[in-house]
Amino acid sequence: MIVIEDILEKVVNGLSEVNLGDNRVQFPVFGWGNKDELNRYLEEHQDKSYPLIWLMPNNKNYSVKRVSQRSEFIIAVNHTKEEIDLMNDQRMDLVFKTILYPLMENFLKGINQSRNATFDNTGFDVFDYPNYKTSGDNDVVHLWDALTLTIDATYLNNCKS
């Protein structure tokens, strides 16, 4: 059986380190699940959770040697104390243009170069969340700059990765 999460974890594990600023350089981490699982993950791993590429659950369409899915990812970094009061134009320059967009591009490139995945179309959807903070019971527990990336992809049962 094709396990999309395993394929995507290999892609993320192949990405290079990301400079998060303020002397923080870390490899991206991958996880998946609903917001409850995301919150448990963040509480357990704290600052070692970033930069984060998180796959939200969605329907999977299986056939013999492939599975297709509209995959929605949260790509996020947490705030440092210095970044909490930044305005959106400052966040765009300091976080989105230098960290989140390049990470998203490298992730897409990694999926595209994988022998286990193909894009079903050439486009993808991106939604920016500067200064993402929520207060509801089921929302995330950290303060982020984040984006959601939505792609339509087919994941293949190939031995090579």
Is residue 141 in a domain? yes
161 domain residue, yes or no: no
pLDDT digits (tens, 9 = 90+) for 54-107: 999 999 999 888 999 999 999 999 876 566 677 888 889 989 999 999 999 999
Within a domain: 63: yes
E-assigned strands of 114-160?
A: 117-119, 125-132, 144-156
Tens of pLDDT along 103-123?
A: 999 999 999 898 899 888 778
């509209």: which residue's tokens?
A: 70
The CATH number for 106's domain is 3.30.70
Give the global pTM: 0.88
Cis peptide, bond prior to residue 51, ω within 30 of zero: yes
Instruction: Judge whether 75 lies within some domain.
Output: yes
Q: Exposed (0-12), middle (13-18) or buried (19+): which is 82, by Cβ within 10 Å? A: exposed
Decide if 85 is inside a domain.
Answer: yes
- How distant, in Å, are the alpha carbons of 28, 47, 112 from that of 116? 20, 30, 9
Tell me what the mean pLDDT of segment 23-50 comes to.
Answer: 88
Domain count, the chain: 1
Range of the domain at 27: 4-156
